[in-house]
Structure formats: structure tokens, C-alpha cells
């Protein structure tokens, strides 16, 4: 198809067939830069597939194929956090307890955590299970087959993944002053020159494909803070994440997984590097003094949220220690384990086993849902999420955990 004039597209075998079979794909490609530059089907999908019978021979291109023309973007992506989506998914124990359809079927975790360059062995495992369509990361933001730069620069491109239970950044941004101004600007209610920062302006500036944040997803980091209580609280959270052994306080193999996918900053230098980037970004619109005050306030609320979180973890941990909760089979220690999320007690979801105890479920909700809102909302400047959906819900969770623990102790035989 390379070099085929636009007026003869209908005569091309691929277009002729797929106009009937998958017309949306054809229409997207026809309005794309690829079509404009005579990049046809065979450039990405190969020439082995030509009939319905040999459809499985069509290559579903990985990121390396995109790199043949977009090397800079590929290099940036490969060094950013999006590239660790797939590996971080597989590093978390909860992944291996859920139905495959939610992981590789593109509806649950795998629908977003597909992002990330996969090894040939990882691709083979997926192919052997019958999954072959989530083979590329680029089309998460530049969707097939239009692959539009404009689309990827629209903050709605981030919405599918950055919303919901444990990462409602879309809801926070879109209902913040930043988001409100962007929507107003879209409607023509603000001039074209008005500041209206999007996700991309702050996290992927100047078209960069290398994204990173200071605090990361887990909201924990090293070194420990100077404040004795704040340091103790963070250690408690790291124990509940399985990163530190609850008895000795020593690092566990889970720390290696956290390091491998950069799930947390483990030294001051790497954290400061990202913080300095954000200080510079925010200072494009605000005074540096104001920016620093706001980001420091976000750090401060994290310490206060960690005090609530650590109190809750220690309350549940005491139930484990006293035998009121039996250690689940695959837990790393006789201690609460936040990385099971809301799944079964460490085995496959379809085994005939007791589900995660209710008090453990409340604890996981407190960490994964409400603590995330409490601290993320400060950095996304959203008052309602910071207080009502975050801090206030954490205090309610803690109260419920305390009451459940009292009841469990009173009724224990």
C-alpha cells in the first residue's frame, strides 16, 4: 500500500475488505497522518495476512514498530512510569488472584496496565491464553487507527485510566479550578491566551513521553522523615505493604519488586528531582513562593493521613498477633497486607476459601481509596476530594476499624 494515491484506496485489498468488516478502523486510518504520508497497513501489520483464513498472520505491532519512525518518543516512553504499567501489575500479588479476563481481557486492571513494553516471553504467555490485542502502549493515548497527536493532548485521553477507585485524578482535576478553566476555555468563555493547565501540561510537558511523579502511586518513600512519629508511621505502612518485615523491620523481596518498577522513590535525590520539576512547572503560572507552600502543604497532609493509617494498621495487626484473625495462606507475614486489595485470602479467586476478613477490607479501602484521595487531592487542588472523599472518610474508616476490633475481642472464644 505504500505510495498508493488517496483516490485509489477503495481498490486496495485491505481497504476493500475492512471497509465491510471493520469500517471504523478504515475511517480512522483515512483521516490519519499515516494515510497522509502514505504509511499503509502493511507497514505496521506485515504482508502475511491477505484472506479471512489467515487473519492470525497479521502482525499486531509492538512499540518497537512505532520506534522505527518515532524513536525520540519511544526512548522517552521507555524511561517513564507508563512503561512500568504491565510490570507493576504483575508485581502486585492481587493481580494473580483475579480472573484472567480482568487482567488480560482489557476490562479490569489490564485495560490500563497493558501499558508497558513487554518481553517476547510475556507476549507468548498472553498469546497462549488467546490474548493478542493489547500488544502496544502507544495506542492507549493515540488510539487506533487515527493515532492523533491532538487526541493524545486532550486531557480526556487520560481519563480512562486515571479515574475511579484508587486514582481519581480525572475527577479531581476536572472539578478543580484548573479543569474548570480548561472547560471554560474550550467553550470560548476564556480567551485563547488564558492559563488552563491540563494533565499533559503538568506531567508530559512540551510533548515529552517520559512521565514521573515525586510521591508515586503508593505515596511512600525513603529516606524516612526526621520527625520520629512520622517516621514510625511510614515504617508501619511499609510493613503492611510487605516491603519491610513486621518482626525485624528488614527489607523483604517485595522491596526488590518496588525498586524494579520504580513504584516508590527510595532516595532523596530522585524524589527531589521530580519535586523540582513540578516547582518549575507550577511557577509558570504562580509565584515560586506560593507553589512551594502548596506542595509543602501536600507533604504535610500526607504525614497526618499516615498517622491515621498507621493507627488503623496497628489495630488490625494486633488482631493477627492475638490469633483473632488467621494468617491467610500466601501472606508474607502474620500481619495485614495491603497489596491483596479486596481479593481472597491469598489464593485464586475461584478457590473455595474464606474471603478477606471484613476488617481487612475496611483497612484496604482506607489505604487504597481514601488515603489516595486525601493526598492526591492536595496536589490536584481539589477541596472536596481532599476533605470529604479523603480525610473525612479516613477518619470514618479508623472509627469503624476500632469498633470492629472491640467487637471481635468481646465476642472471641
Q: Which residues in 13-167 belong to E strands, given as ranges? A: none
Where a domain ends, among 153, 172, 192?
Answer: 153
**Inside any domain, residue 267:** yes
Least confident of 6-10, 185-189, 344-348: 6-10
Cell of 75: 526512548
Residue 81 has pLDDT above 70, yes or no: yes
Across the range 261-281, mean pLDDT stands at 95
Least confident of 172-176, 177-181, 203-207, 354-358: 354-358
Measure the CA angle with vertex 110, ends 106 and 115; round to 5°.
Answer: 105
**Inside any domain, residue 161:** no
The reply to whether 125 and 255 lie within a common domain is no
Residues 6 or more apart in contact with residue 213 via CB below 8 angstroms: 81, 203, 274, 278
Instruction: Check: CB of residue 10 under 8 Å from CB of residue 16.
Output: yes
Across the range 233-252, mean pLDDT stands at 96
The reply to whether 219 and 360 lie within a common domain is yes
Least confident of 129-138, 199-208, 285-294: 129-138
pLDDT for the residue 128? 86
Domain of 118, in residue numbers: 6-49+61-153
From CA 239, how far away is CA 133, in angstroms rounded?
A: 37
pLDDT for the residue 352? 38
**Inside any domain, residue 183:** no
The reply to whether 264 and 346 lie within a common domain is yes
Share of the chain above pLDDT 90, in %: 76
Q: 117: which DSSP letter?
A: P
At 24-80, the pLDDT tens digits run 999 999 999 999 999 999 999 999 999 999 999 999 999 999 999 999 999 999 999
At 338-368, the pLDDT tens digits run 988 755 444 444 453 456 799 999 999 999 9
Where a domain ends, among 153, 170, 199?
Answer: 153
pLDDT band at 101 (very low <50, low <70, confident <90, very high): confident
Across the range 310-320, mean pLDDT stands at 98
Residue 112 has pLDDT above 50, yes or no: yes
Residue 11 has pLDDT above 50, yes or no: no
CATH number, domain with residue 374: 1.20.850.10
Across the range 253-269, mean pLDDT stands at 91
**Inside any domain, residue 202:** no
The reply to whether 106 and 247 lie within a common domain is no
Residue 24 burial (CB count, 10 A): 11
**Inside any domain, residue 184:** no
Phi, psi of 290 (to 5 degrees): -65, -45
Label residue 191 exposed, middle or buried (CB < 10 Å: 0-12, 13-18, 19+): exposed
pLDDT for the residue 132? 78
Where a domain ends, among 137, 153, 169?
Answer: 153
Across the range 155-171, mean pLDDT stands at 95
From CA 106, how far away is CA 113, in angstroms rounded?
A: 9
Residues 6 or more apart in contact with residue 99 via CB below 8 angstroms: 108, 349, 350
Q: Which of 285, 272, 111 is nearest to 198 (CA)?
A: 285
Residue 7 has pLDDT above 90, yes or no: no
| Summary mean pLDDT of the chain | 90
pLDDT for the residue 5? 46
Q: Which of 174, 228, 167, 218 is nearest to 197 (CA)?
A: 174
- Number of domains within the chain: 2
DSSP letter string over 182-215?
HHHHHTTSS-TTS----HHHHHSGGG------SS
The reply to whether 130 and 232 lie within a common domain is no
The reply to whether 229 and 131 lie within a common domain is no
pLDDT band at 302 (very low <50, low <70, confident <90, very high): very high
Residue 221 bridge partners (DSSP): 265
Amino acid at each position: 500500500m505504500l505510495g498508493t494515491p488517496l483516490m485509489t484506496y477503495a481498490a486496495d485489498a485491505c481497504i476493500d475488505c475492512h471497509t465491510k468488516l471493520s469500517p471504523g478502523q478504515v475511517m480512522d486510518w483515512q483521516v490519519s497522518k499515516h494515510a497522509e504520508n502514505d504509511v499503509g497497513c502493511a507497514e505496521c501489520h506485515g504482508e502475511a495476512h491477505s484472506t479471512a483464513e489467515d487473519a492470525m498472520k497479521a502482525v499486531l505491532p509492538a512499540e518497537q514498530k512505532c520506534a522505527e519512525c518515532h524513536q525520540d518518543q519511544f526512548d522517552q516512553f521507555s524511561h517513564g512510569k507508563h512503561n512500568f504499567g504491565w510490570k507493576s501489575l504483575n508485581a502486585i500479588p492481587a493481580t494473580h488472584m483475579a480472573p484472567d479476563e480482568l487482567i488480560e481481557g482489557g476490562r479490569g486492571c489490564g485495560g490500563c496496565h497493558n501499558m508497558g513494553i513487554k518481553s517476547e516471553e510475556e507476549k507468548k504467555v498472553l498469546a497462549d491464553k488467546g490474548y493478542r490485542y493489547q500488544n502496544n502502549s502507544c495506542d492507549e493515548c493515540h488510539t487506533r487507527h487515527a493515532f492523533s497527536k491532538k487526541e493524545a493532548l486532550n486531557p480526556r485521553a487520560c481519563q480512562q485510566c486515571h479515574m475511579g477507585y484508587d486514582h481519581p485524578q480525572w475527577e479531581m482535576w476536572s472539578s478543580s479550578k484548573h479543569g474548570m478553566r480548561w472547560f471554560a476555555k474550550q467553550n470560548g468563555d476564556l480567551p485563547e491566551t488564558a492559563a488552563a493547565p491540563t494533565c499533559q501540561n503538568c506531567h508530559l510537558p512540551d510533548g515529552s513521553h517520559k512521565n514521573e511523579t515525586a510521591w508515586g502511586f503508593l505515596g511512600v518513600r525513603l529516606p524516612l522523615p526526621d520527625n520520629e512519629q512520622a517516621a514510625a508511621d511510614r515504617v508501619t505502612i511499609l510493613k503492611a505493604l510487605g516491603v519491610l518485615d513486621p518482626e525485624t523491620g528488614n527489607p523483604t523481596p517485595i522491596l526488590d519488586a518496588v525498586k524494579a518498577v520504580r513504584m516508590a522513590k527510595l532516595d532523596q535525590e530522585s524524589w527531589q528531582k521530580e519535586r523540582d520539576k513540578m516547582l518549575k512547572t507550577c511557577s509558570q503560572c504562580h509565584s515560586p513562593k506560593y507553589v512551594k507552600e502548596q506542595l509543602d502543604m501536600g507533604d504535610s497532609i500526607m504525614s497526618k493521613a499516615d498517622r491515621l493509617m498507621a493507627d488503623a494498621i496497628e489495630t488490625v495487626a494486633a488482631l493477627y498477633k492475638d490469633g483473632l484473625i488467621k494468617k491467610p495462606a500466601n501472606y508474607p507475614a502474620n500481619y495485614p497486607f495491603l497489596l491483596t486489595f479486596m481479593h481472597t485470602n491469598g489464593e485464586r479467586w475461584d478457590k473455595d476459601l474464606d474471603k478477606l476478613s471484613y476488617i481487612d477490607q475496611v483497612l484496604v479501602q482506607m489505604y487504597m481509596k481514601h488515603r489516595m484521595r486525601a493526598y492526591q487531592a492536595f496536589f490536584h487542588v481539589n477541596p472536596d476530594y481532599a476533605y470529604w472523599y479523603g480525610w473525612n472518610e479516613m477518619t470514618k474508616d479508623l472509627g469503624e476499624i476500632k469498633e470492629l476490633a472491640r467487637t471481635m475481642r468481646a465476642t472471641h472464644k
